[in-house]
Chains A and B, each alone.
Chain A
Amino acid sequence: MLNALDGSVNNMLTRDLLTTSVTALRRNKSRSALTILGIVIGITSVILMLSIGQSAEGLILNQVADLGADLVFVEPAAGDPTAGPPDPFIEQTLTLDDAEALEKSPYVAAVSSTLTSTLTVSYQEETQFTSINGTDHNYLEVFPADILYGRFLGEDDVKSYARVAVLGLEIAQDLYGDQNPVGMKVKVGDVSMRVIGVLDEQGTRFFQNLDDQIAIPVTTMQRDVMGLDTVNYIAMVAVGDIEMVKEEVRWVMRDEHNIDNPDGDSAKDDFFVSSQSDAVEIIGVVGAVLTLLLSSIAAISLVVGGIGIMNIMLVSVTERTREIGLRKAVGATRKEILQQFLVEAVLLTLLGGLAGVFCGVVISVLVGVVGAQLLDGWTISIPVSAIFLAVIVSTVVGVIFGVYPARQAAKLDPIDALRYE
């Protein structure tokens, strides 16, 4: 489009075209400013969404990377894992025997079983409601954390159904204040236990507060606290190629659960094997869907903004009917009138786009500053491509919504236009 506006023989000079359009817009400064507001808001949200989306994805992927991409999980699941979100009432099919069987495989290391629940914990008058992980000595190899006081669970603790607990930093402070709680009593559900260690601050992972959790031996959790003989998941570190390890784990599990499944059809399994890299993939998909969703909202706001531009341009054409008539009388062609109004519309949206980029970047930086305070590892990232996209999109919006009013102006009959009251 803009190529056609150069100063070739068949056209008025580009400079004149721009000057004429800018002059017209400046004559109605406040109206022009209000008109572009819709575009400004639209582009601001585009920039904001893309930048926050990128920051959030970066944050989550960093957390995943911290865990290491070579983790493999076994969870109870019947059939197709893509069928929907995990069902909390799903039949629990995993036991400690499964973990034992997996431990024998040369393809996995540090097998750790976990049974989780949210229970009341108390010390003297302090009572809290927190997440209890019944787990084992391998837990820290799968989910690394530093020990602040005492020690973590040992193999003996698991074997002997020991009534011992390792506290996250936050729950420790909630229950014991500033004291070192190692050696003190803690009541988990109805069971009294002894604190043997406190983990150092870990922050959040996947929106879970890791510092508000308590680890106790999985055996104690099963027999004394929950009265169950299942576990929620088994985590392990893969040795070798991750896909091969997952397949190995599946065969071990099928063997354990006596599932006759020679074709390896996962729909017949009563468990589901996943890895950290799957999670990365899923996060990517979720991110893409979210971006798509937010982009559609942004697109709608741009369309609304574009309609606003069109509306004002139509008003402007009507108001300036006599001016258009005069321009035609002194020799302006249809094309030149069309170009003038189109350039006005594009200048409006482009201006709105640039203002939107500015607002979007400023707000992104502010969000980044606040985000960095609230969430560990939140970084400010403003995608440069988003800025180019915003500029291109606002230009296109200007052309699309400017064409109709510009055509209305161009096809005015000069005689009628000159007489227009």
Chain B
Amino acid sequence: MEPLIRLTDLKKTYVNDGVETPVLHGVSLEIQRGEFLAIMGPSGSGKSTLMNILGFLDQTTGGHYLFDGEDVSTLNDDQLAAMRRTQVGFVFQTFNLLPRTSVLENVALPMMYDRVPPVQREQQARAVLRAVGLEHRLEHLSNQLSGGERQRVAIARALAGNPSIIFADEPTGNLDTKTGVDVLHLFQQLHRQGHTIVMITHEREAAEFAQRIVSIRDGKILTDTCDHAQRTGRFSK
């Protein structure tokens, strides 16, 4: 079966004031539907750049990126926006919720840009908030929530559009250990329900929650290990 994502010799070079800074030196990677994958590496390794390209926030400067069999390296700005709208959900380190806006509205936001009718939008938002255990917080404003709750709202928002894949960029970076573990368990639970999740992290402890770990350094893939059985055995309750 065709993988959801297939990267072939992906390269990315930033050009700033005529100075070229290569960040990715030929990354080849396949991600199957239903995988929970951690991309792990120290800062400066190129993992964020890789996620930005995978999440249609940035374009490659070389190599091929096939998403669901389609070459996306030639998409224009609006087409990239459409891909973000329909195919991916993002979870950020700093949550990036709209301030002074209700939980429900925050979660419904991506569906607004996807032209989902308001009534359906609210129903779907309620459903995903129930899935992340926040059904009692619907009308709270985002700034009235704790860090863990905020990140769960962000996860609900990522789920809301029913995307093909969820990208989480250091999702536990701003959380204490216990809350971080809760969030990671939530990802594992979503993974068991069939969601495809790619998590960027620099912490091995966080990466261990994933089913597969791709470690990256200096713009190249170092190791790619898949040890599903062991890790789920060790961390699941």
Query: Across the interface, do B96 and A325 meet the contact criterion of CB distance under 8 Å?
Result: yes
Q: A323 at interface (Cβ–Cβ under 8 A)?
A: yes
Query: Smallest Cβ distance from A337 to chain B, in angstroms?
Result: 10
Query: Across the interface, do A331 and B81 meet the contact criterion of CB distance under 8 Å?
Result: yes
Report the separation of the CA atoms of residues A12 and B118 in the bound assembly, to the nearest whole angstrom: 11
Query: Across the interface, do A332 and B90 meet the contact criterion of CB distance under 8 Å?
Result: no
Query: Smallest Cβ distance from B219 to chain A, in angstroms?
Result: 17
Q: Which residues of A contact B81 (CB under 8 A)?
A: 328, 331-334
Query: Smallest Cβ distance from B39 to chain A, in angstroms?
Result: 16
Given contacts A322-B96, A325-B96, A329-B57, contact A415 B52 (CB under 8 A): yes
Q: B212 at interface (Cβ–Cβ under 8 A)?
A: no
Q: Which residues of B contact A13 (CB under 8 A)?
A: 112, 115, 118
Query: Across the interface, do A331 and B85 meet the contact criterion of CB distance under 8 Å?
Result: yes
Q: B58 — nearest CB in chain A belongs to which residue?
A: A415
Q: B108 — nearest CB in chain A belongs to which residue?
A: A16
Report the separation of the CA atoms of residues A13 and B108 in the bound assembly, to the nearest whole angstrom: 14
Report the separation of the CA atoms of residues A264 and B55 in the bound assembly, to the nearest whole angstrom: 88
Q: A335 — nearest CB in chain B belongs to which residue?
A: B78
Q: A283 at interface (Cβ–Cβ under 8 A)?
A: no
Q: Which residues of A contact B227 (CB under 8 A)?
A: none
Query: Which 8 pairs, one residue from A and one from B, show the smallest C-beta to C-beta distance?
Result: A331-B85, A330-B110, A331-B113, A333-B81, A331-B84, A326-B96, A332-B113, A16-B112
Given contacts A330-B84, A330-B85, A415-B57, contact A12 B112 (CB under 8 A): yes
- Sample (7) of A-B pairs whose CB atoms are under 8 Å apart: A12-B112, A16-B118, A328-B81, A332-B81, A332-B113, A334-B78, A335-B78
Which of A16, A322, A329, A336 is in CB contact (< 8 Å) with B84?
A: A329
Q: B187 at interface (Cβ–Cβ under 8 A)?
A: no
Interface residues of B in 105-137 (CB under 8 A from A): 109-110, 112-115, 118
Which of A12, A20, A331 is in CB contact (< 8 Å) with B86?
A: A331
Q: Which residues of A contact B112 (CB under 8 A)?
A: 12-13, 16, 20
Query: Across the interface, do A418 and B110 meet the contact criterion of CB distance under 8 Å?
Result: no
Q: B100 at interface (Cβ–Cβ under 8 A)?
A: yes
Q: Which residues of B contact A336 (CB under 8 A)?
A: 113
Q: A322 — nearest CB in chain B belongs to which residue?
A: B96
Q: A8 — nearest CB in chain B belongs to which residue?
A: B115
Report the separation of the CA atoms of residues A12 and B114 in the bound assembly, to the nearest whole angstrom: 7
Query: Smallest Cβ distance from B95 to chain A, in angstroms?
Result: 10
Report the separation of the CA atoms of residues A330 and B96 in the bound assembly, to the nearest whole angstrom: 11
Report the separation of the CA atoms of residues A335 and B85 in the bound assembly, to the nearest whole angstrom: 14
Query: Smallest Cβ distance from A99 to chain B, in angstroms?
Result: 84
Report the separation of the CA atoms of residues A418 and B89 in the bound assembly, to the nearest whole angstrom: 14
A interface: dominant SS: helix
Q: B75 at interface (Cβ–Cβ under 8 A)?
A: no
Report the separation of the CA atoms of residues A322 and B93 in the bound assembly, to the nearest whole angstrom: 13
Q: What is the interface of chain A, defined by CB distance below 8 A to chain B?
A: 9, 12-13, 15-16, 20, 23, 27, 322-323, 325-336, 414-415, 418
Q: Which residues of A contact B113 (CB under 8 A)?
A: 12, 327, 330-333, 336
Interface residues of B in 142-157 (CB under 8 A from A): 157
Q: Which residues of A contact B58 (CB under 8 A)?
A: 415
Query: Smallest Cβ distance from A420 to chain B, in angstroms?
Result: 11
Report the separation of the CA atoms of residues A333 and B98 in the bound assembly, to the nearest whole angstrom: 18
Query: Smallest Cβ distance from A410 to chain B, in angstroms?
Result: 10
Query: Smallest Cβ distance from A318 to chain B, in angstroms?
Result: 15
Q: What is the interface of chain B, defined by CB distance below 8 A to chain A?
A: 52, 55, 57-58, 77-78, 81-82, 84-86, 89-90, 92, 96, 98-101, 109-110, 112-115, 118, 157, 161
Given contacts A330-B113, A330-B157, A334-B78, contact A414 B57 (CB under 8 A): yes
Query: Across the interface, do B77 and A327 meet the contact criterion of CB distance under 8 Å?
Result: no
Q: Which residues of B contact A334 (CB under 8 A)?
A: 77-78, 81
Given contacts A12-B115, A13-B115, contact A331 B110 (CB under 8 A): yes
Query: Smallest Cβ distance from A61 to chain B, in angstroms?
Result: 57
Q: Which residues of A contact B96 (CB under 8 A)?
A: 322, 325-326, 329, 418
Query: Smallest Cβ distance from A26 to chain B, in angstroms?
Result: 10
Q: Beyond A330-B109, A418-B96: 9 further Cβ-contacts under 8 Å?
A: A9-B115, A12-B112, A12-B115, A15-B118, A329-B96, A330-B85, A330-B90, A331-B81, A331-B161
Most B Cβ at <10 Å: residue of A329, A331, A418: A331
Query: Smallest Cβ distance from B118 to chain A, in angstroms?
Result: 8
Given contacts A322-B96, A327-B109, A418-B96, contact A333 B115 (CB under 8 A): no
Given contacts A330-B110, A331-B114, contact A27 B100 (CB under 8 A): yes
Q: Which residues of B contact A330 (CB under 8 A)?
A: 84-85, 89-90, 109-110, 113, 157, 161
Query: Across the interface, do A323 and B52 meet the contact criterion of CB distance under 8 Å?
Result: no
Report the separation of the CA atoms of residues A323 and B96 in the bound assembly, to the nearest whole angstrom: 7
Q: Which residues of A contact B100 (CB under 8 A)?
A: 27
Q: Which residues of A contact B118 (CB under 8 A)?
A: 13, 15-16
Q: A7 — nearest CB in chain B belongs to which residue?
A: B115
Report the separation of the CA atoms of residues A336 and B82 in the bound assembly, to the nearest whole angstrom: 12
Report the separation of the CA atoms of residues A6 and B58 in the bound assembly, to the nearest whole angstrom: 30
Q: A411 — nearest CB in chain B belongs to which residue?
A: B77
Report the separation of the CA atoms of residues A332 and B101 in the bound assembly, to the nearest whole angstrom: 18
Q: B86 — nearest CB in chain A belongs to which residue?
A: A331
Query: Smallest Cβ distance from A123 to chain B, in angstroms?
Result: 79
Query: Smallest Cβ distance from B159 to chain A, in angstroms?
Result: 12
Report the separation of the CA atoms of residues A27 and B99 in the bound assembly, to the nearest whole angstrom: 10
Q: Which residues of A contact B84 (CB under 8 A)?
A: 328-331
Report the separation of the CA atoms of residues A325 and B58 in the bound assembly, to the nearest whole angstrom: 13
